[in-house]
Amino acid sequence: MRKIAIIGAGSIVFCKTLILDMMATEALEETTFYLMAPSTGKTSQVEAFANRVIKENGLKSKIVITTDRREALADAHYVICSFQIGGLNVYETDYTIPLRYGVDQCIGDTLGPGGIFRAMRSIPVILEVAREMEELCPQATLLNYVNPMAMVCWALGETKVKFVGLCHGVQTTLDLISGYVGVPKEEIDFLCAGINHMGWFTKIEHRGNDLYPILRERFEQPEFYVNEKVRGEVFRHFNYFMTESTGHLSEYVPWFRKNAKALELYCDEPAFGGESGAYYNWCKYVYSKYGEQDILAGESYNLPPRSVEYCAYIIEALETGKPFKFNGNLRNNGMITNLPADCCAEGPIFADRNGLNRVVIGDLPPQCAALNLTNINVQRLAVLAAKSGDPETLVQACALDPLTSAVLTLNEIREMVSEMLEAQRAWLPQFAGRSVRQTPSIHIPANVQRANVPIDPALAVISRFGELSK
C-alpha cells in the first residue's frame, strides 16, 4: 500500500481534514497513514476517528500512530509536515516580548520578530526531516505546511529533497476577488506570483476582459475599502491586488502598525482584521475551550467532499498523471526573473506523473518585486541565522524587518532579540552557549571635542558651500 507520513499530526482538525480529503480520493484509497507526533495524546483521537470513518464507509485505508519519526518516514511515498515547535507557550513570547518594545503584531508567524523566531525553531527540525528523508525515503515528495513558509522552504531548497510548500492564500483571495467583481471564481482567469503571503495577482480576466478596472472602482467605494483597509491601500498605491489580508499584510510593510495613529486608522476591524495579537488570542481561546478533550467526538463519520486544500489533489496528480494546477512554493530558480534565484518563490505549478513543474513567469512589475525584496532580505538572513546559530545574524534579520525597523532603534532591536533568545533557549539548540552581543549606548558629554580625523568629503563640500553663501 501507499504510505503517507504526516509529521506533526497532533494538529487534530487540520490532520483530520487532510486524511479525509485523501480518503475521498478514489486513487488514494489504498493508503497507510503514519501519524507522527511527540506524544500520542492527540494522534490517538485522530486514529479513533479515522478508523471509524474507514469502517463506516468500507474503505481500504489504514492508520498507524507513532512517536518515532524515523518509523513514520521509512519507505514513505509522501511526507506531509504540519508541526509547530514549542506550542502555545513559546508562541506567546513571539507576541508579548516584541509588544513590550512597541512592535505590535497581529499574527506573528511569517515575518516580524515572531515569524523570524518561529523560523529559528522550525528550520532545524525541517532540516532534520529532510536529512532523514534523504536516508529513509529518498524518492518521496515533501508537502510542507509549516510556517514561516518562505523561510522554511528556502532552507528546504538547499537540500536534495523534492518538496513544495502549500498555503491557501491564493484560493481565499480569489473568493474575495470574485465577490468584489461579481464573477464566479471558476470563470476568472488569473495569474498570481511573488512570495508566500505576498503574491501579486498580475492578471485577472473574465472571458478575455480585464477585471482590474472593476476591482479598482470597488476599492474607491467606502463599503468595499472598509473590509480590507491595508490590502486596499497597498492595492491603490502599488496597482496590483495581493494575497494577504489586513491582519497578515500589515506586519510585512512599515506603514500600518508603526504607531497608535496608524493602528487606529488601518487595523481596527473585528477579529483577524488586524488587531493586536488576533491569532495568539484565538489560539488561547481554542485551547481554553477544548484543552486535551477529544474535539472529534460527535463528528460525522460520513466521508465529505474534498476540501479546498491542495494536498490530496497534488498527490492524486503525481500518482495518476491527471494534471492539477495550483500555486505553490519552490526554490525560485528563474521562475520569477527579477527575484533572487535562491529565494523561495510562490507561483503556478502543474503536478502530474512527471512531478512538480513550475511555470516561468518572467519579471513581476518592478514595484511588486521591490516590495517582495524587502521581505526576501529578512528571509535570507533568518535562514542563515537558523542554520548557523549566530546571534548577530539573528539581530541583523530583525533589524531589516520592515515593521520592526519602523518602530525601534538598532539598540532597542538588539535588546529585544536578546530577551526573546533567552526566553526561547529551550527550543533553540543551535544557539547553545551563544548570546547577543551587548552594545551599550555611548554617552557624549556636552563639552566633548571631535577627534582629529579626516572630515567626510561630502560634509566638506557642504561646509564649503556654506562659506561661499556668506
Please classify residue 429 by burial: count the beta carbons closer than 10 Å to its beta carbon, then call 0-12 exposed, 13-18 middle and 19+ buried.
exposed
Rounded-to-integer distance, Cα 264 and Cα 267, Å: 6
Sequence letter at residue 451: A
Question: What are residue 326's phi and psi, to 5 degrees?
Answer: -155, 170
Residue 26: its H or E element: none
Closest CA to 198 of 28, 346, 412, 383: 346
What is the C-alpha end-to-end distance of the chain, expressed in Å?
89
Query: Kindly report the CA angle at 407 between 403 and 410, in degrees rounded to 5?
Result: 100
Closest to 54 (Cα-Cα) out of 80, 23, 27: 23
Pairing of strands 141-144, 188-195: unpaired
What is the DSSP code string of 298-361? T---S-PPP-S-SHHHHHHHHHH---EEEEEEEE-TTSBTTS-TTSEEEEEEEEETTEEEEPP-
Query: What are the catalytic residues?
Result: 168, 252
Greatest extent of the chain over all pairs of C-alpha atoms, in Å: 95
Distance of alpha carbon 383 from alpha carbon 385, whole angstroms:
5
Phi and psi at 323, nearest 5°, equal: -65, 145
